[in-house]
Structure 1
Amino acid sequence: MTIAQILTLVVLVSVVGALIWDKVRSDVVALTGAAVLLVTGVVRPVEVQGAFASPAIIALASLFVIAYALELSGLLDRGIDLAVRMCRRLGAAGVWLLLALIGFLSCFLNSTPIVVLGAPVVRDVATALKLPPKRYLMPLSYITVLTGCCTLIGTSTNLLVDDMARVAGQPRFGLFEITPVGLPIALAGGLYLFLFSGRLMGRSLTGPAIVQHAPDFEAPGAQIGDADLFAERRPFQPVNAVLAGIVFVGAIAAAAMDIAPIAASAFAGAVLLILMRVITADEAYGGLRPQILILIAGMVVIGIAMEESGLAAVATNTLVASLHGVSPLVALVVLYGLTMVLTELLSNATVAVLVTPIAVALAESLGVSPRPFLVAVMMAGSAAFATPFGYQTNVIVYQMGGYRYMDFVRVGLPLNLLTFAVAIVAIGAFFPF
């Protein structure tokens, strides 16, 4: 191994170890790793600059601003009020319909702020209907993760894998290109949660009272605290709500029709909202969620170092040697399973950076299209259901609902296996080797 490869490997192992140790904020860990690689000359300043200005960062930051404009306009609060009235009329069926509507929003908006806003509503509605909130809070987190897999912008994982694949020389994904795989996964997972999650929780539904004000603690990818702290009511401003809604739909439509990449259309939409004074520049900065953006940018730098130093090629050669003689389908299954296990232990950004270059090189070594392998990384990179710490939204409902660790294992582990099977079938059907 070269000196650059050794340095990259040391930084990678140190970053992964620090993330597992979980005593330092994950965005600080990623920045530290990027700084070490820059100082030692493994990556150049221009490459670090490119990571912080990558399309994934621009798209996410712009979508955060647009979502914050929708929140400030009071549109989300008005929608919540309508949902509460619906649930009072329909009972338990209304709560599940509410979860489905929240899941639809998660197809186009980051799931973390959606769960932050929606979890207190689901809890309060269930309590008002004399239903156990535990029955619905965990499915709320899982559903937003599942529906986030339906579009390129549904999760930061998808955008990051797309960005890392571009670095490896692959064409970019379309906004709805992964929908034929993500949609069956979401439908199968949603049906499973509706039919079996309550039974699997069992006595936990009648367990201790809900934790109303749990302390803050670090979750992979973001600092997450009590969701009630974010549930601030906003006065309804009809004009701003309409303008923000039009800009959001326009940005999505422009990307869907290939008029402009999602990074360009979302960025233009965010700037337009500032120019129209729907949101001020200071408010826009406040909605950026820099800890998530910096985490992703730092991990992109590490991914670039793996590619430039040749460490990704070494890891791929090792994996290929262990899979010598197997079919592409078996290789896909192994890659999906490896990604899924890593996602339960590490942040989704870390896993995307680790596995995406390996997925591309593995496919090329087998002489097949990298597309199925990249889609597998996208799906498995978000499929963190078996622990309360595998995804940010799990942490929110974990502390709000007063769940036990094993509640997530009982409900999430079968969900992991179900989505695994559906994903492999759907990838094989819509992304031929």
Structure 2
Amino acid sequence: MTVEIIIVLGIIVLAVILFVTERLSIDTVAVLIMLLFVLTGILTPVEGLAGFSNPATITVASMFIISSAISKSGALSSVGIALTRIGRKNYLLCLLSLMLIAAGLSAFINDTAVVALLMPVVIQVSRDIKVSPSKLLIPLSFGSLLGGVCTLIGTSTNILVSGIAQTQGEKPIGMFELAPAGLCFLVVGVAYMFFVGRHLLPSRKLSENLSEEFDLGDYLTEIILLPDSPSVGQQLQKSGLVRDLDIEVMQVTRSKEKIQVFPTLILKANDVLKVRIGVDKLKSLKQEKGVKLKSERKFRDEDMRMSHSKLYEAIITPNSYMEGKSLKELDFRSYNHGASVLAIRHRDEILHQKPTHVKLSAGDVLLIGANNFQAGKLRQNEDLLIISQTERSHFNYGKIIPVLLISLGVIVTAATGLMPIVVSALAGVMLLIMLGGIRIEEVYKVIDWKVIFMLAGVLSMGAALEKTGAAKLLADYLIYGVGDYGPHALLSVFFFITFMATNFMSNNATAALLAPIAIVTAEEMGVSVRPFLMAVAYAASLSFMTPMGYQTNTMIYGPGNYRFADYLKVGTPLNILLWIVASIIIPFFFPF
């Protein structure tokens, strides 16, 4: 073991710790690791930065754009309509249809986008048929993951593994090369959820309205600002009422006229404020100088409608700019034209006290009070996904036809070998822009830049492992420990290690770490690289045991009101089942 290998393994151990603990965002960790490889002389600057020009990185960026163009065109609106009709007939048929629809879409569209598209529909269907959303959201996420492993463009992980293979001198993965084994995984996964998994799904209480669901338990009262109130003459957001008592002002009436509530509104004497306040602060409000209380009662959904507002649920999307920041830091209310956050569901906990000071995480659900104008602005926020009070996309045949034809062209040209996938994807993006399928200013917004920087960074791990011989050293250890049992046993070990690691750290980071080792292991044993490479690609996306295992699992955590144990209960048997199936069918479709 050389000094260089020790440095590389030390940096990779640091990366794994940072990925698992999530002390820093995954893109930050990836770029940090790349920088450490360069600073220690393991990689040259050109080698370290090569990930940014890697075909895998460019292809993933292009597929973000194509997926967004399909979604924005309204081409998938009929999917939501069909799912709603099926759901109202039969729960089991709805579950089966949901998983198959999610799988079919995820084979060609980014699976995070598929879950974002279908989650509001699923939540609405669950309320229509009086079934808890927790009975349908895990099947939605699992279905999208199972569909994603059926094609090259199904997940960014598949594209990444293909890029690593190409960099190491292997043949890139074909568009439908993953399909035979992928479809077997899909059938097994859907059958498991239909016959076994659905019985393990939790059944959380189905609330009649959002205020009850979020257990607001708050009171609505009207107060009159007397001339001697310290808040008179101050901006609403800077007044003692809002700053010190942390109350939400729902409506302001001045001289019998209702006026719009916004953060910089100057309060005046005799203003009547309709406010929402927690039970613990009600006593303090009664003792506030210059304030006269009128009647008080429990807060209800109807109170939002009376003030020309509605309650909305919005989820913090994976890799959102809002992650790690508080609403106060983001100046959420001012930035969103006065829309106010009433409560936050973080994992399985609902936070009411000082929600503006809570550090936000991906998957957190915000309960927001907003009028129609504010809701429109919220829907334009790329860092939030409205999952209630949704508006269905309208068909736009002027966009749908060219968008679908261009997308089909990208798939066909890559599948037939007429063009490499990176070229066909880039060509598709340029055609979409020129034909108006997506605006140029939208292109930069729809690309998940955190994923792009993360991919570029983690590719340096594979380069460092291969260059220093660390990959060969680790491969030798694996062969020494398991090699006597043959390549079948080694492949099974790779699949197991990959899906276990993916449940606790980034799936792309796991693939970038293990794919080079898998290639060297196969070469050292003198067998085909393909089955080992495929084992890593499949296993890195088939992560069902934790909410951190994949972005779609994180997205449904809050809306489904799940607990960590729910994923272990439903996902662990499925992961073990697929591990057994993979150990049998991967060598069958990809012989040693």
Specify the TM-score bucket, using the shorter chain as the normaliser. Answer: over 0.9
TM-fit CA distance, 1:99: 3.1
User: Which residue in 1 is equivalent to 2:192?
Assistant: 192
TM-fit CA distance, 1:229: 3.2
TM-fit CA distance, 1:24: 1.2
- Distance, in Å, in 2 between the alignment partners of 1:349 and 1:249 is 26
Mean alpha-carbon deviation: is it higher for 92-101 or for 126-135?
92-101
Q: Is the 8 A contact 1:307 1:313 kept in 2?
A: yes
Once the two structures are superposed, residues 166-191 of structure 1 have per-residue CA deviations (whole angstroms, 9 ceiling, x without a partner) of 22221111111111111101111011
Once the two structures are superposed, residues 1-32 of structure 1 have per-residue CA deviations (whole angstroms, 9 ceiling, x without a partner) of 33432332222111111111112111111111
Q: Is the 8 A contact 1:208 1:402 kept in 2?
A: no
Q: How does 1:246-261 map to 2 (within 5 A)?
A: 246-261=405-420
Q: How does 1:346-385 map to 2 (within 5 A)?
A: 346-385=505-544
- Distance, in Å, in 2 between the alignment partners of 1:8 and 1:19 is 16
Name the CA shift for 1:217/1:129 in 2 (closer, same or farther; >3 Å): closer
User: Which residue in 2 is equivalent to 1:7?
Assistant: 7
Two-structure CA RMSD over aligned residues (Å): 2.3
1:390 and 2:388 correspond: no
Once the two structures are superposed, residues 93-138 of structure 1 have per-residue CA deviations (whole angstroms, 9 ceiling, x without a partner) of 2453133112101011121121122112111111111122211100
User: Which residue in 2 is equivalent to 1:18?
Assistant: 18
AA paired with 2:88? Answer: R
Runs (5+) with no aligned partner, structure 1: none
Mean alpha-carbon deviation: is it higher for 151-160 or for 84-93?
84-93
- Distance, in Å, in 2 between the alignment partners of 1:84 and 1:216 is 25
Mean alpha-carbon deviation: is it higher for 234-243 or for 259-268?
234-243
1:288 and 2:286 correspond: no
Name the CA shift for 1:268/1:215 in 2 (closer, same or farther; >3 Å): closer
Partner SS state of residue 342, structure 1: helix
AA paired with 2:203? Answer: L
- Distance, in Å, in 2 between the alignment partners of 1:104 and 1:21 is 33
Q: Is the 8 A contact 2:317 2:385 kept in 1?
A: no
- Distance, in Å, in 2 between the alignment partners of 1:428 and 1:304 is 27
Name the CA shift for 1:217/1:171 in 2 (closer, same or farther; >3 Å): closer
User: Which residue in 2 is equivalent to 1:130?
Assistant: 130
User: Which residue in 1 is equivalent to 2:560?
Assistant: 401
TM-fit CA distance, 1:154: 0.8
1:63 and 2:63 correspond: yes
Q: Is the 8 A contact 2:106 2:144 kept in 1?
A: yes
Q: How does 1:225-240 map to 2 (within 5 A)?
A: 225=363, 226=365, 228-229=385-386, 234-240=393-399
TM-fit CA distance, 1:213: 4.5
Name the CA shift for 1:341/1:90 in 2 (closer, same or farther; >3 Å): closer
AA paired with 1:308? Answer: K
Name the CA shift for 1:41/1:23 in 2 (closer, same or farther; >3 Å): same
AA paired with 2:110? Answer: N
AA paired with 2:106? Answer: S
Runs (5+) with no aligned partner, structure 2: 208-212, 215-311, 324-361, 366-383
TM-fit CA distance, 1:89: 5.0
Q: How does 1:67-86 map to 2 (within 5 A)?
A: 67-86=67-86
Q: Is the 8 A contact 2:86 2:93 kept in 1?
A: no
- Distance, in Å, in 1 between the alignment partners of 2:521 and 2:57 is 26
TM-fit CA distance, 1:382: 1.3
- Distance, in Å, in 2 between the alignment partners of 1:425 and 1:414 is 17
TM-fit CA distance, 1:78: 4.7
AA paired with 1:61? Answer: A
Give the 4+ runs in structure 1 shifted more than 6 A.
217-220
1:339 and 2:337 correspond: no
AA paired with 1:284? Answer: V
TM-fit CA distance, 1:157: 1.4
1:306 and 2:304 correspond: no
- Distance, in Å, in 2 between the alignment partners of 1:25 and 1:11 is 17
Q: How does 1:88-237 map to 2 (within 5 A)?
A: 88-89=88-89, 92-201=92-201, 204-207=202-205, 213=313, 216=316, 224-225=362-363, 226=365, 228-229=385-386, 234-237=393-396
Partner SS state of residue 323, structure 1: helix
- Distance, in Å, in 2 between the alignment partners of 1:91 and 1:407 is 20
TM-fit CA distance, 1:47: 2.0
Partner SS state of residue 203, structure 2: helix
- Distance, in Å, in 2 between the alignment partners of 1:372 and 1:91 is 38
User: Which residue in 1 is equivalent to 2:289?
Assistant: none
Partner SS state of residue 34, structure 1: helix
Name the CA shift for 1:199/1:7 in 2 (closer, same or farther; >3 Å): same
Once the two structures are superposed, residues 77-102 of structure 1 have per-residue CA deviations (whole angstroms, 9 ceiling, x without a partner) of 35423432443355652453133112
User: Which residue in 1 is equivalent to 2:54?
Assistant: 54
- Distance, in Å, in 2 between the alignment partners of 1:186 and 1:276 is 36
Q: Percent identity among equivalent residues?
A: 35
Once the two structures are superposed, residues 265-311 of structure 1 have per-residue CA deviations (whole angstroms, 9 ceiling, x without a partner) of 11110111111122111101111111111111110012111111221
Once the two structures are superposed, residues 31-50 of structure 1 have per-residue CA deviations (whole angstroms, 9 ceiling, x without a partner) of 11111212332212222342
Q: Is the 8 A contact 1:106 1:154 kept in 2?
A: yes
1:276 and 2:274 correspond: no
Q: Is the 8 A contact 1:219 1:389 kept in 2?
A: no
AA paired with 2:35? Answer: A
TM-fit CA distance, 1:153: 1.2
- Distance, in Å, in 2 between the alignment partners of 1:217 and 1:60 is 18
User: Which residue in 1 is equivalent to 2:474?
Assistant: 315
User: Which residue in 1 is equivalent to 2:487?
Assistant: 328
Structure with more strand by fraction: 2
Q: Is the 8 A contact 2:535 2:586 kept in 1?
A: yes
Q: Is the 8 A contact 2:50 2:456 kept in 1?
A: no
AA paired with 1:356? Answer: A
Name the CA shift for 1:219/1:265 in 2 (closer, same or farther; >3 Å): closer
Partner SS state of residue 401, structure 1: coil
- Distance, in Å, in 2 between the alignment partners of 1:215 and 1:256 is 36
Once the two structures are superposed, residues 178-215 of structure 1 have per-residue CA deviations (whole angstroms, 9 ceiling, x without a partner) of 111111011110111111122113xx314475678487
Name the CA shift for 1:99/1:335 in 2 (closer, same or farther; >3 Å): closer
- Distance, in Å, in 1 between the alignment partners of 2:577 and 2:8 is 36
Q: Is the 8 A contact 2:483 2:489 kept in 1?
A: no
TM-fit CA distance, 1:313: 1.4
Once the two structures are superposed, residues 337-357 of structure 1 have per-residue CA deviations (whole angstroms, 9 ceiling, x without a partner) of 111211112111111111111
1:428 and 2:587 correspond: yes
Q: Is the 8 A contact 1:34 1:301 kept in 2?
A: yes
User: Which residue in 2 is equivalent to 1:31?
Assistant: 31
Once the two structures are superposed, residues 358-407 of structure 1 have per-residue CA deviations (whole angstroms, 9 ceiling, x without a partner) of 11111112111111111111111112111121111111111110012111
User: Which residue in 2 is equivalent to 1:42?
Assistant: 42
TM-fit CA distance, 1:74: 2.4
Mean alpha-carbon deviation: is it higher for 90-99 or for 408-417?
90-99
